[in-house]
Structure 1
Amino acid sequence: MDLNRQPGVALHHQITTMIEDMVASGRLRDGDQLPTEEDLRAQYGVSRVTVRRALQSLEARGLLKRQRGRGTYLSVPFASAPLPMPMSAFLEAMAERRSRSTPSVKEFGFVPAPLDVATALQLEEGTVVLKVVRVRVTGRTPILHSVVYLTEDVGRRFAKADFGRAALTELLQAEGIRYDRIEMVTRATLADVTLAKLLDVAIGSALVDVMRIGYDKKGRPFEFQILRGPSDRFHTHVTIRG
C-alpha cells in the first residue's frame, strides 16, 4: 500500500503498521525474511533513517530478529486464535448493525490491484478490481469507513448507485453469490489525515481496524475489505455461553 505523505501519522509508523498487517493476515509468517533496508527504502520511497526507525520499533516489540550477515527475520511471539461462527449468525449480526446507519459512497471505480489486495484475492498485482469507498453515518455522525475490493467478474455486476442503497452482503445475495467463509482480523490503528476528516476525529486518534476476506462456494477469494472506525462508535459485542 502507498504511504500517506500528508501531515499526520509519521512515515515510519505507517511502515510498521503495514508490516504488522501482513503478519496479522498471514502474508508474512514467523521465520520469513524481510527485504533489506535498501530494498524497503526503495519500495516505500523513504529515507534509510525512516526504515531503520520502523524496524527498530518492530524489534523493540519482539517482532524481528537480526542475524549478522544473514538478514532480518520475523519472530512472531503470538498466533491468532480462530473463533468459528456460523455464517447465518454473522450475517444476521451485520444486518442488524447496518440497519442503524446509512452508507455514503465516496469512491467507485475499477483500478489495478495493489500488491496487498492482489495477494488477498490471489491475483497478479495490477489485475483490474472494483474499488468502493464508503462512509456509514448515523444521523450526522460518521461511524465507519470501509474500502472494499471485488474481483472484476463480481464487480461488473454492480453500479455505483447500488452501494448507496444496500449493503454488500445484500447485493451479493441478490446476484446469487453466497459466502463459503469469511476470514476477519481485528486490530487497532491510528487515524491519518484522510480518515480523521471523514470520521470527524482528531489526527492520530485510535481506530478499530478490521480486515476481511470473503470466499465463494468454490473456495475462491472475491472480496477484500478494510473497515475502520472509532472504538466508541464501531465495536463488536460477543456473548459466550457455557
Structure 2
Amino acid sequence: MTDGNGGLPDIKRDVPTAIHAQISEHIRLRIAGGEWPPHYRLKSELELAEEFGVSRGTLRRALTTLIEEGLLRQVRGRGTFVTSTTIEPAIAQKLSTLSEDFASQGVVTTTSVRECSLIVPPQPVAALLDVTPGTRVLRLVRVRSTAEGPVALLFNFVRTDLAPGIEQTDFTTSSLFGVLEGTYGLKIATARRTFSAEAAAPEVAEALTLTEGAPVQYLQQVTYLADDRPVEYSDVWIHSGRLRVTSLLLRR
C-alpha cells in the first residue's frame, strides 16, 4: 500500500507505536524529505485513510497532531496544505499577471522566450502540480523588459494534460494566462503567492543585467482552476530597482 504522490510506507500493526503516530511520522518524513513541499495540498481525508488502510478518525487524529505542530494547515473549503517555513503576510491578493498589470498602466513591454519545451519537472514541482512521477510538463522561461531594461525573469511549469500542444504557442506575443483561458477554455480561479528577498544567482543576474548577489525580489506561485486542480507553478525573480510590487489593503 503506497501513495502515488509520496510513497507512503505500510502501517505496522504489530508494534507498540500507535497507528496514528506512525501516520504522523510518515507524513513528517515526506515533508522533511521535500517530497511534499510547502503549499502541497494533501489528498482528501477519505483518500488518505483508504491508502493507509485506517479509519478516517485515526487519519484525522494524525493530521491534527501535525496541524498542532505547525507542519500542516487546513483551509476551509480548500483542503489541508503543507505549511511554509516562512511567515507569509496576505499581500498582493489580486490575481493578475505582470503583463496584465503593465497593460493596465499603459507600460510598453517586450518578452523574450529563452525556453519553451516539455520536460520532466523536479519532484517538488510535480507534487505541487499533482502530476505523477515522469509526467512531462511545459517549462516556459521568459524575460520581460520595459524601456529601462529587463524587469523580471519568469520560470513557468504548466500541466500539459490540461493544455495539450501549448508548447507550440508563440509566447513572445501571447500571455500564458491568456492562452490557458482563451485557447483552452480553462477557468483560472485562485493562486497562492509567496514573496521573499534573494541574492541574485548567476542565471538571474545575467537575465536581469545585475551583478551576481544583488538583491532581487522572488515570487513563487501555484495557480488553481475553479475545480481546485493546480494548473501552473512559477518562479519569478524581479529587478527591485526597476519594478516594485505594491498592494491595496482593506481592513475587514
Tell me the TM-score normalised to structure 1 length.
Answer: 0.63
| Closer/same/farther in 2, CA of residues 173 and 24 from structure 1, 3 Å limit | same
Please list every run of 5 or more consecutive structure 2 residues that lacks an aligned counterpart in the other structure.
Answer: 1-31, 41-65, 72-82
The Cα RMSD (Å) is: 3.3
Letter aligned with residue 38 of structure 2 = S
Which of 178, 182, 186 is equivalent to 1:174? 182
Aligned equivalent of 1:233: 242
| Closer/same/farther in 2, CA of residues 236 and 121 from structure 1, 3 Å limit | same
Aligned equivalent of 2:161: 153
Tell me the alpha carbon deviations over residues 105-124 of structure 1, each in whole angstroms, 9 at most, x when there is no partner: 00011000111211211223
Rounded Cα–Cα distance in structure 1 between residues aligned with 2:151 and 2:177: 19
Runs of 4+ displaced beyond 4 Å = 21-24, 29-32
Which of 5, 20, 25 is equivalent to 2:38? 25
Q: Which has the larger radius of gyration?
A: 2
Aligned equivalent of 1:189: 198
Deviation at 1:237, TM superposition (A): 1.4
Please list every run of 5 or more consecutive structure 1 residues that lacks an aligned counterpart in the other structure.
Answer: 1-18, 33-73
Rounded Cα–Cα distance in structure 1 between residues aligned with 2:180 and 2:39: 26
Aligned equivalent of 1:124: 132
Tell me the alpha carbon deviations over residues 171-205 of structure 1, each in whole angstroms, 9 at most, x when there is no partner: 12212111121111111111111111111000011
Relative to its length, the structure with more helix (as a share) is: 1
Aligned equivalent of 1:204: 213
Give the conservation status (yes or no) of the 8 Å contact 1:186–1:209: yes
Percent identity, please: 21
Mapping of residues 35-50 of structure 1, within 5 Å: none
Rounded Cα–Cα distance in structure 1 between residues aligned with 2:84 and 2:186: 39
Aligned equivalent of 1:82: 90
Letter aligned with residue 90 of structure 1 = L
Deviation at 1:234, TM superposition (A): 2.8
Which of 83, 86, 106 is equivalent to 2:114? 106
Tell me the TM-score normalised to structure 2 length.
Answer: 0.61
Tell me the alpha carbon deviations over residues 72-119 of structure 1, each in whole angstroms, 9 at most, x when there is no partner: xx995x64333584xxx5338751325532111000110001112112
Deviation at 1:23, TM superposition (A): 10
